[in-house]
């Protein structure tokens, strides 16, 4: 006898209390393995594939795509046991049996694992198997639910939809829509087919012809309704180029009442942007920061000419080899080696870590319950990154242990992951100090809001050519404005000013860093 087990949305860690169902990775009636990802959800921090700790057959989805559910709410039900593939709304293998007969007995490989994995579901999964998705036939994403689906569905094989291969054509051995062997009920029209309008133009019917998760994600990030697109691939398959073309046509998006921010137009023409996901988290943190932290700001202009010259020298190719050494002597393999590039952000991050070692009060937080200021021994440096999904702050953990080359590599990796929407909760949390380079937007200064519960944030404006007094003469130099917003509970203006002045001195005279190495 099969046992139907209910799997609830697990605790995804880092204080997350809810998540939005983005898309189901398995359909009702499909056989799954232990720790196989079954659904993709969006939390306030990242997109996460959630694995199920049970093996068997999916009997019901407990939440619709687009629904926001709290941690602990039912997510999916799975029939486990020796005859699990007969428990749901018709097992996947039962649906593929020829002649409409009953489901065959599962073989050992099919249900090798039953029950739960016993692992704790935190973050991305419970085991390395959670990152492997078996290739199983399932209906095209977006297929309307019909007989044999839903939590109260009757038993029996559901109607099958021909699987679409990479070329857009039906994959081999698909169930015909008419004639012997066709499923019960009327034949489903081909993708893109439908009853024409009075003027003869066809009406799109059936599921959206998309097989690429990347295409769906791209459309979702830009607020594009896939049902409104005409695919240029085989048999009307929607390709990435089709979505990108729609993104480049904002007029069409506005006519649909949707733009790339997810805003919806109401009857009065006002646009309403849903406050959820990353936006909701940012709004909550900013509001809490303003409510709890008595912040203050100070700023200073600094001559960044020498810092930029240092960056150019560090990134210039080596034009000579090291002196000839005997084999086995130290440095024999160093001559002519190619150096890794160093970014300006990494140099500023290195300056921040050096300054925090001298002014540890700014690498701290206030424990309001204990009424204590907690000074932290490690510097986990966050940096602001603008993405299509909003502003995110990836964290370089143990930043004080990294050199400029390592910081460049780490920030580049995190920035790429942020823009791709693949940052993990661990990469977005745990920061102790934040560096905000808003100069990339072409502005000179700002008074940033402290990233709660941190104690301070350093802002860096654009670097512009300005007249500057050097010695007793006027010269044209590269000048940058630095601004520091800090929690006045952790330090006074003297400490904050000392920190900012040290940062400015290191920008103007990078050799000052040697004092703290």
Catalytic residues: 488
- Give φ, ψ of 281 to 5 degrees: -65, -45
> Which 3-state string (H, E, C) describes 92-104?
HHHHCCHHHCCCC
Which residues, including other chains, have CB under 8 Å from residue 211's CB and lie 6 or more apart?
Answer: 140, 141, 164, 166, 237
How far is CA 29 from its chain centroid?
Answer: 29
Integer Cα distance of 326 and 335 in angstroms: 12
Nearest to 56 by CA among 101, 106, 21: 106
Nearest to 480 by CA among 460, 499, 498: 460
Nearest to 128 by CA among 35, 33, 7, 40: 35
User: What would the DSSP string read from start to end of 306-347?
Assistant: HHHHHHHHHHSPP-SPPPP--TTSTTTTTTTPPPPP--HHHH
User: What would the DSSP string read from start to end of 481-516?
Assistant: EEEEEEETTT--HHHHHHHHHHHHHHHH-GGGGGGT
Helix axes 493-508 and 305-315, enclosed angle (nearest 10): 50
Integer Cα distance of 489 and 294 in angstroms: 7
Q: For residue 220, give the H/E element and its range.
A: helix 213-221
């Amino acid at each position: 006898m099969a046992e139907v087990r209910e799997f609830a949305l697990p605790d995804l860690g880092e204080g997350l209390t809810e998540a939005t169902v983005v898309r189901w990775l398995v359909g009702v009636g499909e056989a799954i393995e232990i720790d196989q990802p079954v659904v993709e959800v969006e939390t306030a921090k990242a997109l996460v594939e959630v694995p199920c700790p049970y093996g068997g057959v999916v009997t019901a989805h407990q939440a619709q795509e687009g629904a926001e559910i709290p941690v602990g709410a039912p997510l999916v039900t799975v029939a486990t046991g020796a005859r699990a593939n007969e428990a749901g709304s018709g097992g996947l293998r039962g649906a593929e049996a020829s002649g409409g007969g009953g489901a065959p007995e599962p073989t050992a490989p099919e249900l090798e694992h039953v029950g739960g994995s016993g692992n704790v579901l935190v973050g991305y999964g419970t085991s390395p198997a959670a990152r492997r998705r078996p290739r199983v036939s399932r209906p095209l994403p977006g297929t309307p639910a019909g007989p044999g689906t839903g939590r109260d569905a009757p038993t029996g094989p559901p109607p099958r939809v021909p699987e679409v291969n990479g070329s857009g054509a039906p994959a081999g051995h698909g169930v015909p829509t008419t004639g012997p062997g066709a499923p019960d009920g009327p034949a489903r029209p081909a993708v893109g087919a439908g009853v024409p309008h009075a003027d003869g133009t066809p009406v799109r019917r059936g599921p959206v012809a998309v097989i690429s998760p990347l295409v769906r994600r791209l459309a979702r990030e830009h607020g594009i309704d896939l049902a409104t697109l005409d695919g240029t691939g085989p048999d009307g398959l929607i390709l990435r180029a089709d979505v990108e073309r729609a993104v480049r046509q904002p007029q069409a998006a506005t006519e649909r009442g949707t733009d790339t921010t997810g805003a919806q137009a109401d009857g009065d023409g006002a646009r309403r942007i849903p406050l959820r996901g990353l936006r909701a988290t940012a709004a909550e943190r900013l509001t809490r920061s303003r409510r709890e932290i008595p912040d203050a700001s100070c700023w200073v202009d600094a001559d960044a000419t020498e810092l930029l010259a240092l960056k150019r020298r560090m990134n210039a190719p080596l034009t000579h080899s090291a002196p000839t050494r005997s084999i086995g002597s130290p440095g024999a393999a160093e001559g002519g080696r190619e150096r890794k590039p160093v970014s300006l952000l990494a140099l500023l991050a290195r300056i921040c870590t050096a300054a925090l070692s001298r002014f540890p009060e700014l690498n701290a937080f206030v424990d309001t319950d204990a009424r204590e200021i907690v000074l932290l021994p490690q510097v986990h440096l966050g940096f602001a990154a603008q993405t299509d999904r909003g502003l995110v702050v990836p964290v370089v953990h143990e930043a004080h242990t990294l050199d400029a080359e390592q910081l460049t590599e780490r920030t580049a990796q995190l920035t790429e992951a942020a823009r791709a929407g693949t940052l993990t909760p661990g990469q977005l949390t745990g920061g102790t100090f934040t560096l905000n380079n808003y100069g990339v937007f072409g502005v000179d200064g700002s008074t940033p809001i402290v990233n709660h519960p941190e104690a301070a944030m350093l802002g860096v404006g654009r670097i512009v050519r300005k007249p500057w007094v050097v010695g007793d003469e006027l010269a044209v130099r590269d000048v940058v404005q630095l601004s520091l917003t800090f929690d006045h509970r952790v330090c006074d203006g003297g400490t904050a000013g000392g920190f900012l002045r040290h940062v400015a001195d290191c920008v103007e005279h990078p050799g000052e860093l040697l004092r703290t190495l």
